[in-house]
A and B are shown apart, each in its own frame.
Chain A
Amino acid sequence: SSSSGHSRMSAGGNLFTRGLRYLASKEFRSYLCSTHFWGPVANWGLPLAALADVKKNPEMISGKMTTALFFYSMAFMRFAWRVQPRNMLLFACHFTNDTAQLVQLCRFTDYWYVKDEAQRQQLRRQYEDAAGEAAAEVAVAEPKK
């Protein structure tokens, strides 16, 4: 783009204006309508689900599925890097997923293989109490159903 009308700014305008102009460009709009964008968007559900599960009861973690997801995301990180054109959104998605799944794997291992049964029972009761409180709040909020 020419800088004839912007003599007092750096060529093309400042970073913010240039950014906005890019967002309005045809190139960006066609990117938003491509599989290159929506495919990775569809995959973001997985890391977001895992991050939401981090504060939940570790008994909800499936060791098999978490391990499978961990290796799956490692493979797809490389896939996103090597595919033409390089897909950084997909890479970011699987990088985040690997981090989240690793956290869940650590929680799973700690819960079943490091803690003893007494600690597990205590945690179970804690989660049940929390669930009970939440259910009670819901019951108070909707007395008649």
Chain B
Amino acid sequence: MSAVYRAAIKVADRFVPAKLQPLWNHEAGPKTIFFWAPTFKWALVIAGIADLRRPAERLSLTQSTALAATGLIWSRYSMVIIPKNWNLFSVNIFVAATGLYQLARIVNYRRELEARNKK
């Protein structure tokens, strides 16, 4: 499997324009996990946005809290680490935002339910 990958990269290397070579070969560049793992975190944001259409009674309180918390903490940390990681910062801001929005929906829904049950 890795032989196929290495062959493909060898071919791709020839097509990368000279100006982009330093980026292409960067130690945190597109050939490394240090690039793709944070980039893949955007999938959590996309899934979160898709979930905005779910009814509030089907949302998981624990999962939304966990996502909001991790998003907020990592937004801060990505500015504290050396070097600053703007990609990580932006993705975590969005993770926190979608998590907090879903959390607000769940809390509102449960409050309404309680109020309705009391009547």
Contact = CB atoms under 8 A, between A and B. Distances in A.
A65 B47 contact: yes
Contacts of B70: 42-43, 45-46
Contacts of A46: 63, 66-67, 70
Contacts of B41: 72
Tell me if B's interface is mostly helix, strand, loop or mixed. Answer: helix
B24 interface: no
Interface residues of A, number: 31
Interface stretch (A14-22, A50-58, A109-117): A50-58
The size bracket of the interface on B is 20 to 34
Contacts of B67: 45-46
Nearest to A64: B47
B37 A49 contact: no
Interface in A58-76: 59-62, 64-65, 67-69, 71-72, 75-76
Interface of B: 32-34, 36-37, 40-41, 43-44, 46-48, 50-51, 54, 58-60, 62-63, 65-67, 69-70, 73-74, 77, 80-81, 117
A78 B65 CA distance: 25
Contacts of A23: none
B59 A35 contact: no
A31 interface: no
B2 to A, nearest CB: 13
B47 A68 contact: yes
